[in-house]
Each structure stands twice: as structure tokens, then as C-alpha cells.
């Protein structure tokens, strides 16, 4: 096994993958990519690995993968088959996938809002903030109902890939001016994620809590 992650340390999509690598305790190499301002991932040689010019990229032998959620699914299938991260039971599997789609689609507004706020990447800051708040509110409402059902994580009583895909945007939301005030259920959930074995922080997420 030889895993290589092409990553930019301040990118929350790469952080999703780092969280799972930590949780599974998988040894891996990291290639630091100058995403901002260098946009190194849009030029050779990286553009040959991923023609879409995005990060992160995972290389595992002959396998080359892009999209954080796809990489999470791949790693869970390959190194934790039948384990807790990707439930096999159809209902839990479906709900895990729904949150992974949500993380990549709805929550992407928060990623863009953060890039606009921190790195001056062009973007409609007001629309992105509204979309980010809508996404966080949907997450908060869900975790209120989960708490009533005695389920501490997004899909059930134990953490799945959904939690790892959703955590970075919420934990980093203060970078673009969205405080955690309005999300008490998400604050409690974030503490649970932080307590998972193998959890690691990234810049913007303090070690203290």
C-alpha cells in the first residue's frame, strides 16, 4: 500500500480526507500543492492527474481519484470494509450518501464563502453567506431531531463518513464570519467529532476546545 494525497493545508476538502486517514490510522505521503495563490493544481503535472484541476487528489497505485467525498468512499471501501464509516445496511447507507451529496453540493457555498473571505477569491459574498447559513440551519435542524432519537451523529449513534465530510465547513465557518451562536446542536456534535480517535485539527480549528 502506498497512498499519496495531493493537498493544500488550508483547503477544507483536503481536510475531509485527512480526517479519515487519521481515523483509520492509514500511513500516507502528502504532496503539498500551492493552490492559493499558485493554482498549481491547474497546470502540469497535476492537471494530468486530474483534468478538472481541483484538489484533493488521492493516488493509490494505479488508482487516481478526485473529489473528497469519492476519496472518502474509496478509502472506506478499501481499508474499512464492513466497518462503521460506510454503513452497509441500506437505510443507513442511503442516508450517509445523502449527507455526502449535501456536503459536496449545498455546503460548497461555505467553502466558496471562506475562499472569498480569506483569499480574495471572487464571489458574491452576500449570496454565499445566505446559502451557507441555509446549509448550516438544515444541519442544525437535523441534529436536533437526531438528539431526540439519541443519535449523536448525522446517521446514527456512531460516526460515519457523513460526519467527516460535514465537519470541516462548520468548524471553519468563523473564517468567513458565521459564528456558532445559532447552532447549539452542531456545537455539541462538533465536540463529539473532535473526540473521535485519530481526530486532527487544521489551521483555523484550535487545538483547545
Partner 1 sequence: MSDPGQPQGWYAVALAADLDPGTSAGTRLFGAELVVWRDAAGSAHVWEDRCPHRGMRLSFGFVRGDHIACLYHGWQYDAAGQCRYIPAHPDLAVSPMIRARTYASLERLGLVWAAWGEEPGPPPDAGADSLTPLRSLYLDRPAARVRTAFADASKGGLASGLLRTTLAEIPVLVAVQPLADDRCAAHFLIDRPSDALTRSDRARVASACMAWRRSVEARSGERAAS
- For position 187 contacting partner 1 by CB under 8 A, the verdict is yes
Query: How many residues bind to partner 1 according to rule CB under 8 A?
Result: 19
Contact 29, 5 (CB under 8 A): yes
With H, G, I as helix, E, B as strand and everything else as coil, classify residue 6.
strand
Contact 44, 5 (CB under 8 A): no
- For the CA atoms of 40, 55, 118, 112, the dihedral, rounded to the nearest 10 degrees, stands at 130
- For position 194 contacting partner 1 by CB under 8 A, the verdict is no
When the beta carbons of 43 and 188 are compared against partner 1, the nearer one is: 188
Site string for partner 1, 9-48 (x = CB under 8 A): ----------------------------------------
- For position 149 contacting partner 1 by CB under 8 A, the verdict is yes
- For position 206 contacting partner 1 by CB under 8 A, the verdict is yes
Q: Is 6 exposed, middle or buried (0-12, 13-18, 19+ CB in 10 A)?
A: buried
Cis peptide before 15 (omega within 30 of 0): no
- For position 121 contacting partner 1 by CB under 8 A, the verdict is no
- For position 1 contacting partner 1 by CB under 8 A, the verdict is no
Edge-to-edge strands, sheet with 29-32: 29-32, 3-7, 57-60, 63-66
When the beta carbons of 108 and 180 are compared against partner 1, the nearer one is: 180
When the beta carbons of 60 and 163 are compared against partner 1, the nearer one is: 163
- For position 145 contacting partner 1 by CB under 8 A, the verdict is yes
- For position 182 contacting partner 1 by CB under 8 A, the verdict is yes
When the beta carbons of 59 and 147 are compared against partner 1, the nearer one is: 147
Query: Burial code of 185-208, b = ≥16 C-beta within 10 A, e = fewer?
Result: bbeebbeebeebeeeeebebbeee
Site string for partner 1, 160-179 (x = CB under 8 A): --------------x----x
- For position 144 contacting partner 1 by CB under 8 A, the verdict is yes
- For position 134 contacting partner 1 by CB under 8 A, the verdict is no
| Residue 93 C-beta: closest distance to partner 1, Å | 23
Cis peptide before 78 (omega within 30 of 0): no
Report how far residue 15's alpha carbon sits from residue 166's, in angstroms, rounded to the nearest whole number.
11
Amino acid at each position: 500500500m502506498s497512498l499519496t494525497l495531493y493537498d493544500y493545508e488550508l483547503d477544507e476538502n483536503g481536510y475531509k480526507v485527512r480526517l479519515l486517514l487519521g481515523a483509520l490510522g492509514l500511513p500516507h505521503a502528502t504532496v503539498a500543492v500551492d493552490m492559493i495563490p499558485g493554482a498549481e493544481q491547474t497546470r502540469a503535472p497535476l492537471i494530468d492527474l486530474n483534468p478538472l484541476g481541483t484538489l484533493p487528489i488521492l493516488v493509490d497505485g494505479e488508482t487516481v481519484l478526485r473529489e473528497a467525498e469519492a476519496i472518502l468512499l474509496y478509502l472506506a471501501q478499501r481499508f474499512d470494509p464492513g466497518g462503521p464509516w460506510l454503513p452497509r445496511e441500506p437505510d443507513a447507507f442511503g442516508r450517509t450518501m445523502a449527507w455526502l451529496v449535501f456536503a459536496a453540493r449545498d455546503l460548497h457555498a461555505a467553502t466558496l464563502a471562506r475562499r472569498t473571505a480569506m483569499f480574495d477569491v471572487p464571489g458574491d459574498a452576500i449570496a454565499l453567506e445566505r446559502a451557507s447559513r441555509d446549509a448550516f440551519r438544515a444541519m442544525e435542524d437535523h441534529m436536533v431531531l437526531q438528539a431526540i432519537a439519541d443519535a449523536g451523529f448525522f446517521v446514527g449513534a456512531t460516526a460515519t463518513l457523513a460526519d467527516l465530510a460535514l465537519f470541516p465547513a462548520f468548524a471553519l465557518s468563523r473564517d468567513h464570519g458565521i459564528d456558532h451562536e445559532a447552532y447549539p446542536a452542531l456545537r455539541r456534535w462538533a465536540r463529539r467529532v473532535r473526540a473521535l480517535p485519530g481526530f486532527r485539527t487544521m489551521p483555523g480549528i484550535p487545538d483547545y476546545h
